[in-house]
Structure formats: C-alpha cells, structure tokens
Structure 1
Amino acid sequence: MEERYPDAEPMPLMEKLSFEKALVGMYVSTHPLAHYRQQIRQRGSVSLTFLTEVPW
C-alpha cells in the first residue's frame, strides 16, 4: 500500500538553507550569498582562493 502525503507549500529558501546547515553542517542546495555573486564581484571583492595565490 502506497503512503500519500499532503501537498505542502515549498519552504522559503533561507529557511531551507538554515535547516541544511543545522542538520548536515553545510549548505547542500546552494549558498546563501549565491544570489548576490554578481553584485559582490562588481564591488571589487575577491575569492579567498585568490588571496592564497598572492605572493606576500
């Protein structure tokens, strides 16, 4: 016999990410700042990987 579950509204993204981080210890579906990636790059920020490659 197949169980049927009631239809539910999709969980808001930030709530989903919060649960992922709490349960798994990392973000699984996306990163909270992924939506802002382009704006962050336009403002001159760099990735941490780049900073490890700079000869200090």
Structure 2
Amino acid sequence: MNKLMMGVKRFWQEEEGTEVVEWALVGGLIVAAGAAIFTNIGTAARTNLTEVFNAL
C-alpha cells in the first residue's frame, strides 16, 4: 500500500500528471457540450418532421 501512495503522490507532484488531468477535463467538457448540442438538434428535427408529417 505504501508504494501505491508514493506513486499517487509522485503523480500529483509532477507537472505532466496535472496536465493530463486538465486535458481530460477539457475533453470531458467538449464531449458534454457536443452531447447537449446534438440532443437539442435532434429534438428540433423531430418537432419539424412531426409538423411536416401532420401537414400531409
């Protein structure tokens, strides 16, 4: 267990480790924003197609 804690401590002290965490957070935010955008586009498309279908 001591080796694990030393590894975690070394990971957090190194700049590369924190940089990886930052990029992972940025990537996660981009994916979340993309999912929200695609959900809104899908909802709008469904609404428009339903209106067209009902008009026919």
So what's the TM-score if we normalise by structure 1? 0.30
- Of the two, which has the highest radius of gyration? 2
Relative to its length, the structure with more helix (as a share) is 2
Between 1 and 2, higher relative CO (CA 8 Å, sep ≥ 6) is seen in 1
Q: What is the TM-score normalised by the length of structure 2?
A: 0.30
